[in-house]
Structure 1
Amino acid sequence: MGINKVKGLQKIGYKAAALLTGVTILLTGCGPFTGLSVSEVTAEEGDIETKADDELISVGFSQLGSESTWRSANTESVKASLSTGNGFFLIFDNARQKQEKQFKAVRSFISQRVDYIVICPVIQEGWDMVLSEAKEAGIPVILLDRNIAVNDDSLYTTFVGEDMYAEGAAAGKWLEAYLEEKGVSDKDINIVVLEGTTGSSAQVGRTRGFGAIAARHMNWKMQASANGEFTQAKGKETMERLLREFDDIDVIVCQNDDMAFGALEALNDAGITTGEKGDKILISFDGTKKALELVKEGVINVDVECNPNSGELLAQIINDLEAGKNVDKTNYMEEMVFTKENVDDYIEDRNY
């Protein structure tokens, strides 16, 4: 590991080529080059930085998109941790929610002979072929935030991120306790769910986790599950449709904060309140600062944390692999459940 380093990178993009026009450098054939570091370069865009260091650990990172506040925080965490100052050379690509763009990025990373490939996959399925190509090239693949479904789990080295199933189950367990506390645990409870990107491990895991708890209660009526695409705009649109279809909703589950913000817009427009003293129970996921403020205000009943700050753990794992150490196949981030009772202890330190 680490034998390719920056000097093994050869394809640097048209902006880099333009920059190098004014610099006298000898590149012969497919031979390596030294003395330059191209940071956070994509196939179509990116700024170029120079650094006289050819011993950096090169990492190609395919981020699934920038669909939410959470995702932006996750990207910044990785960029900060995999900086040149920390001994890394990061090539960043934003897939903009397109799996085929991730395939293209991974193949580009392979051709550039990076040391590691990091992927936040858009969806779980369809990764076998491209990861087989990375394995054949001898490049370790690390999954970040979202997991995948492959026939051979040796196609990736390790996963770093969140336990989506546990998050969904935590939301369900909170609802159990809350309904018991309010003395309505035996009444019929009508529930709608605004789900994230269909087929993503976040959508699958949170749905299954919450569903496992709901299955214990015959009086929990799952009225509808609708795709809100993890975005505020789609969350609003989906909530508006659900309100037209159902007039007896008791619980709204939003699988991320951005969809919850959109749902709240639709609910406010309809004159419907949420929270401790509201008309509906509102459950969300992520734990962004804006959402925690709404928890404090009593608008969101509970927010199950999904920790985006995985960059530091990712860097540690890569350094462990560089040192020849064994790493766990799965590495989960620490996460919490936020309610009005505990949110004050965490809201001020929130960085996203």
Structure 2
Amino acid sequence: MKKKLMAIAMTAAMVGSLTACGGGAKETTAAPTEAAKTEVAETEAKAEESKEADAGSGKADGDLITVGYAQVGAESDWRTANTESFKSTFTEENGYKLIFDDAQQKQENQIKAIRSFIQQEVDYIVVAPVVETGWETVLEEAKEAGIPVILSDRQMQLSDDSLYEAWVGGNFVKEGETCGDWLAKYLEDQGRGDEEINMVTIQGTIGASAQVGRTEGMDNKLKEHSNWKMLDRQSGEFTQAKGQEVMESFLKSYPDIDVVICENDNEAFGAIDAIHAAGKTCGPDGDIIVVSFDSVKAAFESMIKGDLNATFECNPLHGPRVAEIIQKLEKGEQVDKIQYVDEAYFDTSMDLENILKDRAY
């Protein structure tokens, strides 16, 4: 949209320069040169060709709202679903042009992407930040360029909240607390409510909002249960391979683990592989209780198989909510700064096969 305005301004400037090129008092009587006439004719012809091309595609590129999305990466099934939500929402058919960037879980790559978006004069920037800190400088650059920024999934720690318009994501602290409440009831139902429970946590990427919130939420519940003992915590970086590696280390260091808390589903899949490889069992009928976060389809399959006890939802379908925010901003309307998505939890007591049929991710 901005490029179209610039093109109009440049055309006007060109025409103005042509009418003034004779100079002197008789400026109004000076005729354009043949070269100038040719240049104008070529410009008009190209404009007409572009107009016809836009008509053929159904919508002029200048009419599209350009959105730059700096994604964390593709470290998990959840992230893949999140990316697809944006790609299926921000289409030309819906009135958008999406410029997508995969940062491969590196903050420096996201900062480069944001600066590239600024240079390309996008209309909006959406960021799913790798970590919470270190964003002030680049967001100030976006603000100076007049480009609104929307945060998705993970939050940022900023001294100036005006550097972004809104944040869309899950309530990570609540997710952690819900997990703790579920575990307390599950142990009580098993007759283990007063038993000493040895736990380990495979954390997400340290400093990421999901990691910080889920750890905090679980800590809140640990304080309520003096018989729960957290033996160790290590980062599995939200990946299956690292989750397996961390679980292998835990099993070697702690022979009596009762509960494994995995801060996303993919880490749980790795942990389950490590548990089986060590000759132990897990799930409702196993030696070790395994719980995780995100609730992707593969987590339901793992629960149906009997390996995973429960998964706590983190809804990845942020695309439509972000589009709703953009449409409100386009109309000059105010938007809520913090916008949580709806979330639930699922365990093996539910009709998982029927629930799975309707899952979008």
TM-score interval (norm. to shorter):
0.7 to 0.9
89-98 or 292-301, which moves further after superposition? 292-301
1:349 paired residue number: 358
Aligned match of 1:329 in 337, 346, 349? 337
2:2 paired residue number: 4
1:228 paired residue number: 236
Aligned match of 2:314 in 284, 306, 323? 306
Preserved contact between residue 275 and residue 281 of structure 1 (Cα < 8 Å) = yes
Aligned match of 1:62 in 70, 90, 109? 70
Q: Secondary structure of 1:273's match? A: coil
Q: Compute the displacement of 1:108 (Å).
A: 1.0
Q: 1:51 to 1:209 in 2, by over 3 A?
A: same
Q: Secondary structure of 1:224's match? A: strand
Preserved contact between residue 5 and residue 58 of structure 1 (Cα < 8 Å) = no
Q: Secondary structure of 2:229's match? A: strand
Q: Compute the displacement of 1:341 (Å).
A: 2.4
Aligned match of 1:201 in 205, 209, 234? 209
Bigger share in helix: 2
- The letter of the residue matching 2:206 is T
Query: What RMSD, in angstroms, separates the aligned Cα atoms of the two structures?
Result: 2.2
Preserved contact between residue 295 and residue 338 of structure 1 (Cα < 8 Å) = no
1:268 paired residue number: 276
Aligned match of 1:219 in 218, 224, 227? 227
* Equivalent-residue separation in structure 2 for 1:128 and 1:285 (angstroms): 30
- The letter of the residue matching 1:273 is T
* Equivalent-residue separation in structure 1 for 2:311 and 2:2 (angstroms): 43
* Corresponding position: 1:163 with 2:161: no
Preserved contact between residue 6 and residue 89 of structure 1 (Cα < 8 Å) = no
Alignment TM-score, normalising by the size of structure 2: 0.84
Q: Secondary structure of 1:346's match? A: helix
2:190 paired residue number: 182
- The letter of the residue matching 1:307 is N
* Corresponding position: 1:142 with 2:125: no
Q: 1:56 to 1:36 in 2, by over 3 A?
A: farther
- The letter of the residue matching 1:350 is R
- The letter of the residue matching 1:125 is T
- The letter of the residue matching 2:359 is R
Q: 1:183 to 1:60 in 2, by over 3 A?
A: same
Q: Compute the displacement of 1:5 (Å).
A: 6.7
Preserved contact between residue 78 and residue 311 of structure 1 (Cα < 8 Å) = yes
Preserved contact between residue 305 and residue 336 of structure 1 (Cα < 8 Å) = yes
- The letter of the residue matching 2:209 is S
Unaligned runs of 5+ in 2: 8-41, 44-49
Unaligned runs of 5+ in 1: 10-24, 27-33, 38-48
1:46 paired residue number: none
1:128 paired residue number: 136
Q: Compute the displacement of 1:163 (Å).
A: 1.0
CA deviations on 1:298-333 (whole Å, 9 max, x unpaired) are: 321110011111111111111111111111111111
Q: Secondary structure of 2:249's match? A: helix
* Equivalent-residue separation in structure 2 for 1:237 and 1:5 (angstroms): 50
Aligned length: 318
> What pairs with 1:278-297 in structure 2 (closer than 5 Å)?
278-297=286-305
